């Protein structure tokens, strides 16, 4: 998924959920989807629980999180 594709699914609006990244057109924060996946929920379960989202929305959440981890860290900022 390209960054442009990801941005079709993710929105950040200070008027919605205090500016947290959400699935576009919803009030479902990206972090909520990621926590559920990390806790072992399957994509299919999330699609059943949240019928207003799509598989591409969930993949965009994962891509958004991955893009946040790409920031460059200098040697004196290394997190151990």
Cα 47 to Cα 33: distance, rounded to the nearest angstrom: 10
| pTM to 2 decimal places | 0.84
Name the CATH topology of 3-69: Arc Repressor Mutant, subunit A (1.10.10)
The answer to whether the CB of 51 falls within 8 A of the CB of 39 is no
Instruction: Write out the chain's pLDDT in tens, 80 residues.
Output: 888 888 899 999 999 999 999 999 999 999 999 999 999 999 999 999 999 999 999 999 999 999 988 876 666 655 55
């Amino acid at each position: 998924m390209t960054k442009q594709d990801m941005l079709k699914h993710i929105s950040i609006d200070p008027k919605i959920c205090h500016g947290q990244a959400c699935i576009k057109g919803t009030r479902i924060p990206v972090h909520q989807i990621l926590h559920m996946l990390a806790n072992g929920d399957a994509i299919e379960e999330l699609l059943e629980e949240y019928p207003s989202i799509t598989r591409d929305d969930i993949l965009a959440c994962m891509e958004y999180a991955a893009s946040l981890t790409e920031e460059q860290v200098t040697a004196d900022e290394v997190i151990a």
